[in-house]
């Protein structure tokens, strides 16, 4: 699905970490930027299509569980006793153990269209629903293929991450009955990835994931790491909850990130999801390895996970990306805003990211961090508007109420920090325009039908 070669003139575009004017943007037949020329002279502008608004590069949603879109807004009432992550997990399992491949495709297609509307142009799908409801493996990786079909239907880039899940907790001999759909082996998840590669779709490819240290043993961890080395991105949930840290210490005598660093030679292909319960020393070790952190601010807030130590990570120039995870929001602006605001609430100071990242604009630090880290998460050239990167971009609607009268120099600050959300207009992936959700009533109907079947 390569793009046709095209030439655009952007009156304003985010290039190299700042706004540039009169940018000539050229898309090659491979769907990547073949030319980026700020302050383009008149003679180069001939036959270029003038874009209707400021241009931002598309972002990677670095952590998604598409099926959890079906419970967004449905877990916000508490029963008797304290409510925490583990009680939420039990509710989440009620969806995980009901959903069919057909329902998953419908939910994912609707979700992916929402993500595109917001300006996400690639999604990293952390997929561990491998088996039928009775625990028997599907013959053809039906759940993973349902996600690939959903991505293809709407035109978003997909990094599928078949996820290894072998046991219910540290030292456990296997899975609980309510986890039977997750059962997998190193060979099975790597085979799923090979099957996705066989689709020969340039917008769909695969990496691999390990659900968590509590869900895999040391031998399996090492086997997957060895198979993936130099070939594909690797993702893992780690140090999300304090109980997880305590259980790891009790079983291994080490904190999760500390133990992971001892067991595996991490590198730039590794992406550690959450890491909300980490020490400064552990972050130093991760940064030295070249690995990235995937931060999911809205889900981490929703689940009471804790607050990632962003100032420490930025001071180390660590790589990071953002994910919408359980999809309680599908907005990258809200993720970045909440990431900054959680720091302000904890530290009782303002513009934490700007100070830690040694730049003037907090929004610029946040956007650039998410942009750069997205390439590590997806394992693809998605690092912004520069030659060789995939030609993904979104147009900003300057007439949106949040942006009326805002000077060009503060436009990104207003897009991130002025609510209601600024309107994102047209979105393109690999140079091709994608249809907005509002023009796809069949996707909404599919979502309604799936929700009705699941919840009645």
Alpha carbons within 13 A on the beta-carbon side of 235: 36
30 catalytic? Reply is no
Residues found in the chain: 456
Give the Cα separation of 239 and 104 in Å (integer).
Answer: 28
117 catalytic? Reply is no
Torsion (CA) 36, 37, 40, 42 in degrees, nearest 10: -60
Q: At what angle do helices 142-154 and 101-118 cross, to 10 degrees?
A: 40
Q: At what angle do helices 256-263 and 242-252 cross, to 10 degrees?
A: 50
Indicate the burial class of 77 (C-beta count within 10 angstroms; 0-12, 13-18, 19 or more): exposed
Residue of 211, 252, 274, 327 marked catalytic: 274
Residue of 309, 325, 392, 413 marked catalytic: 325
In DSSP terms, 123 is beta-bridged to 61, 158
Give the Cα separation of 87 and 259 in Å (integer).
Answer: 27
Q: Give the Å distances, CA to CA, from 114 to 75, 102, 407.
A: 21, 19, 28
Asked if 421 and 331 count as a contact pair (C-beta separation under 8 A), the reply is yes
CB atoms within 10 A of CB 131: 18
Give the Cα separation of 226 and 290 in Å (integer).
Answer: 17
Enumerate the active-site residues: 274, 325
């Amino acid at each position: 699905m390569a793009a046709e070669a095209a030439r655009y003139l952007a009156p304003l575009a985010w290039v190299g970490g700042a706004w540039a004017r009169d940018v000539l943007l050229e898309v090659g037949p491979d769907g990547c930027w073949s030319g980026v020329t700020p302050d383009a002279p008149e003679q180069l502008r001939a036959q270029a299509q003038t874009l209707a608004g400021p241009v931002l590069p598309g972002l990677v949603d670095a952590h998604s569980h598409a099926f959890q879109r079906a419970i967004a807004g449905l877990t916000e009432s508490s029963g008797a006793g304290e409510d925490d992550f583990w009680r939420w997990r039990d509710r989440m399992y009620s969806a995980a153990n009901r959903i069919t491949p057909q329902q998953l495709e419908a939910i994912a297609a609707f979700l992916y269209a929402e993500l595109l509307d917001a300006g996400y142009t690639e999604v990293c799908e952390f997929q561990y629903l491998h088996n039928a409801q009775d625990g028997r493996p599907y013959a053809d990786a039906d759940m993973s293929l349902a996600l690939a079909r959903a991505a293809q239907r709407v035109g978003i880039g997909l990094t599928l991450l078949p996820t290894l899940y072998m046991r219910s907790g540290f030292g456990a001999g296997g899975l609980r009955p309510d986890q039977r759909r997750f059962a997998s082996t190193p060979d099975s998840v790597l085979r799923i990835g090979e099957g996705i590669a066989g689709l020969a779709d340039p917008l769909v490819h695969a990496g691999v994931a390990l659900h968590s240290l509590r869900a895999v043993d040391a031998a399996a961890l090492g086997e997957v790491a060895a198979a993936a080395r130099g070939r594909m991105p690797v993702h893992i949930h780690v140090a999300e909850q304090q109980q997880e840290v305590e259980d790891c210490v009790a079983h291994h005598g080490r904190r999760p990130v500390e133990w992971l660093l001892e067991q595996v030679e991490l590198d730039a292909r590794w992406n550690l999801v959450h890491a909300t319960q980490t020490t400064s020393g552990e972050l130093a070790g991760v940064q030295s390895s070249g690995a990235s952190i995937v931060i999911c601010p809205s889900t981490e807030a929703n689940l009471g996970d804790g607050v990632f130590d962003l100032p420490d990570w930025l001071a180390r120039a660590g790589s990071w990306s953002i994910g919408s995870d359980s999809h309680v929001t599908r907005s990258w602006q809200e993720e970045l805003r909440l990431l900054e605001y959680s720091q302000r609430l904890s530290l009782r100071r303002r513009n934490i990211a700007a100070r830690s990242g040694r730049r003037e604009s907090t929004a610029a630090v946040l956007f650039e961090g998410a942009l750069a880290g997205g390439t590590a998460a997806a394992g693809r050239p998605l690092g912004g508007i520069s030659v060789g990167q995939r030609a993904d971009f979104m147009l900003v609607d300057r007439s949106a109420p949040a942006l009326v009268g805002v000077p060009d120099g503060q436009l990104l600050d207003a897009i991130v920090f002025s609510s209601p959300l600024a309107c994102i207009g047209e979105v393109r992936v690999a140079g091709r325009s994608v249809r907005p959700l509002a023009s796809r009533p069949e996707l909404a109907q599919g979502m309604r039908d799936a929700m009705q079947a699941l919840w009645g």
